[in-house]
Chains A and B, each alone.
Chain A
Amino acid sequence: MSWGFLCDLLSGVNKYSTGVGRIWVAIVFMFRLLVYVAAAENIWKYEHDEFECNIKQPGCENVCFDYFFPVSHIRLWALQLIMVSSPSLLVVFHVAYRQNREKHHNQKLYRNPGEIDGGLLCTYLISLILKTGFEIVFLVLFYKLYNGFKIPHLLKCDIRPCPNTVDCYISKPTEKMIFLYFLVATSCLCIILNLSELSYLICKYSQKCYLNRYMKKQQ
């Protein structure tokens, strides 16, 4: 029970997505999930062990590490992946609800329960807005927690029990920074995809609505 579960979930969602939505799922799989599991996890694996301070005072390293990394980058990344994938469940639930209704009434109520129209369109749009919202929230969180997207080589720490200002060194700062930029870039790409899908759906259905109204007027 791990990321495979999320993969199954997203594959299920793929069925009811638009073309842009499928590109979004592919990007999340290949450039975020796979990169996270295959590379990023290992970079941050020994972050605490390899965090060294120029002092022998017991407890100083623990306290300084906790001060500079209240929540580790890698945990925020994992939470971001989970939260950003969850709104797609709304669409899955709605389709399941439609299929249940058809079974309950024993008649065909919808042309295709998975087709994005009516109530399902609203649910889909809400899920897109939520996904974009979560992406932005996490990017802002990253920026605020770590004063930008840079990872310094050296941090100065003077919290008790450190007796005075102490130099602390982070392990693999450059590699972490590269992957952090990668995370930010893929997040921004996903935000752009979500926004374009949102505008595409709104344009398509406004057009449909307008045409229907026009046809009715003609009649």
Chain B
Amino acid sequence: MDWGALHTILGGVNKHSTSIGKIWLTVLFIFRIMILVVAAEKVWGDEQKDFVCNTLQPGCRNVCYDHFFPISHIRLWALQLIFVSTPALLVAMHVAYRRHEKKRQFRKGNQKCEYKDIEEIRRQRFHIEGSLWWTYTSSIFFRLIFEAVFMYAFYFMYDGFRMPRLMKCSAWPCPNTVDCFVSRPTEKTVFTIFMIAVSSICILLNVAELCYLLTKFFLRRSKKAGNSKQQPNHENKEETKQNEMNELISDSCQNTVIGFSS
């Protein structure tokens, strides 16, 4: 169980995402998870071993390290990536639930469902409409919150995004104020700034996706309001017709579960 498993899970969500969602997923995997695994983990690999304090007092180095790094950058990033990826699971679960319902309908032999076989249900791509729209939008909202919270946590815990070369420590059992030196501070600063920059890009992508979804929602509503005012035998545009048919089919499948006729 490692980052590969996350890739498998989120890869499934990719099919049902918007284009911006797909770009976000790519940025997440290539510029955050991959950089974390192949580069950042090695930079922080020797952080405690090479944290040197100008004292022979046993225990002083340990205590100072713990005081300045309550939670290591690398662990915080790993947590951030996990939390930020988790809301996408909401979408995955919703899609799985819909598929499950349709499979059940298909197995019952319901004629109203227009799928030829189970495989077609499995391969079907759901449009982001109805309740799935709400799930998807909530997942983006949660992603934004998590990103912002972790960025603030970084800034708060480490007094900015710079890694100092020298830290002065006077925690017990250090006999007095002791100079402690961090290993690779410049490289760590570079990677911290890189990860923060990519986080910001991901936040921008999420905001753009949210705006896109809201715009699409309001446009669809105004189209529907406009269409309902026109005559019943008026010819609608193909897209709206197809959307309505899709909704009717999915509604009819769900209604037969509850026992109503469509």
A residues lining the B interface (CB < 8 Å): 1-3, 5-6, 9, 48-49, 57-59, 61-63, 65-66, 69-72, 74-75, 78-79, 82, 86, 89, 93, 96-97, 161
| CB <8 Å contact, B179 and A161 | yes
Residues of chain A within 8 A of B38, CB atoms compared: 2-3, 78, 82
| CB <8 Å contact, A1 and B33 | yes
Residues of chain A within 8 A of B6, CB atoms compared: 1
| CB <8 Å contact, A161 and B54 | yes
Contact of B34 among A57, A59, A82, A97 (CB under 8 A): A82
Number of interface residues of B (CB under 8 A): 39
If the complex has contacts A89-B26, A97-B19, are A1 and B2 also in contact, measured as CB distance less than 8 A? yes
Contact of A1 among B26, B34, B183 (CB under 8 A): B34
Chain B: minimal CB distance from A27 (Å): 20
Contact of B166 among A59, A69, A72 (CB under 8 A): A59
**In the docked arrangement, what's the CA distance between A9 and B31, Å?**
13
| CB <8 Å contact, A82 and B30 | yes
What are 22 A-B interface contacts by the 8 Å CB criterion? Answer: A1-B3, A1-B29, A5-B34, A6-B34, A9-B30, A48-B183, A58-B181, A62-B50, A62-B52, A62-B165, A62-B182, A63-B166, A63-B181, A66-B183, A71-B186, A71-B190, A75-B191, A82-B30, A93-B22, A93-B23, A161-B179, A161-B181
Contact of A79 among B39, B50, B53 (CB under 8 A): B39
| CB <8 Å contact, B39 and A75 | yes
| B119-174 residues at the A interface, CB under 8 angstroms | 165-166
B241: CB under 8 A from chain A?
Answer: no
Chain A: minimal CB distance from B43 (Å): 7
| B180-216 residues at the A interface, CB under 8 angstroms | 180-187, 190-191
